[in-house]
Amino acid sequence: MPITHFNFRKRYSKYMESKSHKEAPSIALVPKDDPTTLFTGSGMQQFVPYLLGESHPLGTRLYNIQRCIRAQDIDEVGDNRHDSFFEMLGNWSLGDYFKKEQLVWFWGFLTKELHLPEEKLYVTVFKGVDGIIPDDDSYNIWRTIGIPENRIFKYEGNWWSRAGAPSQMPTGEPGGPDSEVFYEFTSVAHDPKFGKVCHPNCDCGRFLEIGNSVFMQYKKLPDGSFELLPKQNVDFGGGLERLMMAMEDNPDMFETSLYRPIIQEIERITRQKYDGDNKHAMRIIADHLKASVFLIEDGVLPSNKEQGYVLRRLLRRLTVKLRKLLGQLPSANEVAQISKIVHEMYEGVYFKTGDDFSLVSRTIEEEIKRFSLSLEKGLKEIQKMETVSGKDAFNLYQSFGFPLEVTEELLREKGEAVDKKQFNDEFQKHKDASRSASIGKFKGGLADNSTKTLRYHTATHLLHQALYDILGSEIRQEGSNITGERLRFDFYSTQKPTPEQIAKVGEIVNTQIKASLPVEFKNLPKSEAEKLGAMSFFRDKYPDMVKVYFIGDYSKEFCGGPHVKNTNEIGLITIYKTEKIGSNLYRIYAK
């Protein structure tokens, strides 16, 4: 039986469970309260508190398959291996097993479960840099497994930390070596433009990274040296799409079974073949539409801010591409047909069979209609221009809603490049609310654990409960965002909160803060936590065992932590702004 993406996921689950791992289900694409990033961009995101020392309710061996969006890769989509939506297989050891188990198990999964030919697999290990010894442990483990010396490569770049290379890490920062596995596409000839000889880190496309095991091993000391962490963790991530490319021995991701049905539908609708110049456009349409469907399913709607603006850019860019292939603007029905295929492909995995899909098609349809009106006008403007400066590109954005990459692409057809810096400078000048989303200031990785962040985060638990008390049980959290300066909390409510109600909410929160309530957690079976009435984030699926944080008797909420130990550490808060951000959606700011 061929390995499809359906049974691939099942195989990974079964394999990890045979090694005593528990599944922590995929979280929503818009993380509930991670201030560092707009989207869930890796499997490790939900494990951040645990990698920094909190205990996980499911134990010390965990795995999952996480849906992810990387907005910073949008520009790159169009070649044979970049996508903005992807799924990541991941497993974690929280102070449990280490290098030997991890490398032997992953190798076993690749060669015995997936039957990838060993001679096409290459591995890389940390070479040593800045006085840190090379990762000989991993090297020797790979040799013991039977990998010949000529398929093991040592690089200085095989190092992970939040700050980058060892020399850039601040004191106290955790980091460690990583070890990657690469698949060799023997059908792709090395391009000498990238160097004399080909090797796993060569950019010619012959090699593809299919998995990375990070060993969080060291902590940086004030004198610049490193000591071993008391609890060493493993963080493994491998892209499902990339593993499918290796499985199907196809260097074009868009020809694998994770994309083929979508590409075929685009071919049918546009009456064009997936070859030559069409490939670039069809890849963008397929990727962007897939990402859009998932974003809308996870509660994002097109807007000019943050996540909503990323969705808008995806939909607008794919509209421009479809218009080019069709020779005219796509109809809403044509786009809906393609998005239906996306839905079918992931039915039973992320979407329930028989789910109502009308919100997705309606949202896409409305956005395309809105954009179509200004697209033709904007195109006429571009025709008139001899060259398009960064400033012109900004005007096209402001007047016609052309995201920068759309303008860039229309120009690429004219053979010109837009001055990105000038565009961004204009953005800064106009202090547009969406600038961070547009320029792409996205950080991934571990969230900040500063005292202020802990205080504000703990305050959101109190706020959540206070809103529930004042506005009723139908309210639900839609997200939160915390910086060193303030907290922000989004919620759903069918009634518009009055200023008096908001004032009351603020009072309640401060009363609880003054009451010096202890903040403690318990690990509980999910059903018991639900019976207790603990608040949860409705977009996330939770595992059978969950961590519930109790703030005195006042609040109980599903959360990984960390928090302050007592509410008196929070300090009094002031709600300084409340706004409506969508249909039945409200946002509160407090500091």
Contact criterion met (CB below 8 Å) for 521 and 549: yes
Kindly state the smallest distance separating residue 183's Cβ from Zn ion, in Å. 13
Q: Where are the alpha helices (DSSP H) in 401-519?
A: 404-412, 420-430, 435-439, 451-471, 499-514
Is the CB of 46 or the CB of 292 nearer to Zn ion? 46
Q: Which is nearer to Zn ion, 129 or 204 (CB)?
A: 204
Residue nearer to Zn ion on the CB measure, 198 or 360:
198
CB of 190 to Zn ion, least distance (A): 4
Of the candidates 1, 81, 70, which has an alpha carbon nearest to the alpha carbon of residue 37? 70
The CA-atom distances, in angstroms, between 55 and each of 300, 453, 543, 560 are 31, 19, 15, 9
DSSP string, 230-288: EEEEEEEEEEHHHHHHHHTT-S-GGGSTTTHHHHHHHHHHHT--SSTTHHHHHHHHHHH
Select 9 or 476, whichever has its Cβ closest to Zn ion.
476
Q: Shortest approach of Zn ion to residue 504 CB, angstroms?
A: 23
Q: Name which of 269 and 459 has its Cβ closer to Zn ion.
A: 459
Half-sphere exposure of 531 (CA within 13 A, CB side): 5
Least separation in angstroms between CB 188 and Zn ion: 8
Taking the least distance from each CB to Zn ion, the nearer of 206 and 279 is 206
Rounded to a whole number of angstroms, the minimum distance from the CB of residue 395 to Zn ion is 42
C-beta neighbour count of 425 within 10 angstroms: 14
Which residue in the block uniquely carries the two structure tokens 């961590």? 547
Chain residues that interact with Zn ion, rule: CB under 5 A: 190, 198, 202, 204, 206, 559
Q: Give the position of tokens 């951000």.
A: 581
**Shortest Å, Cβ 267 to Zn ion:** 31
Inter-axis angle of helices 278-297 and 358-384, nearest 10: 140
| Surface-to-core class of residue 347, CB atoms within 10 Å of its CB (0-12 exposed, 13-18 middle, 19+ buried) | middle
Two tokens at 122?
């290459």
3-state SS, one letter per residue, for 539-558: CCCCCCEEEEEEECCCEEEE
Please report how close the Cβ of residue 464 comes to Zn ion at its closest, in angstroms: 9
Q: How far is the CB of 456 from Zn ion (least distance, A)?
A: 11
Degrees, nearest 5: CA angle 327-332-336: 110
Residue 121 or 336 with smaller CB distance to Zn ion: 121
Least distance in angstroms from the C-beta of 509 to Zn ion: 15
Nearer to Zn ion, 206 or 324 (CB): 206
Helix (H) or strand (E) holding 590: strand 585-590
- Compute the least distance from the CB of residue 206 to Zn ion, in Å: 5
Output 316 or 455, the one with its CB closest to Zn ion: 455
- Tell me whether residue 360 or residue 559 sits nearer to Zn ion (CB atom): 559
Token pair listed for 247: 């499985």
Pick 202 or 332: Cβ nearer Zn ion = 202
* Element holding 524 (H helix, E strand): strand 519-525
Query: Nearest approach, Cβ of 197 to Zn ion (angstroms)?
Result: 8
Work out whether strand 207-220 and strand 174-184 pair parallel, antiparallel, or are unpaired: antiparallel
DSSP state of 448: P
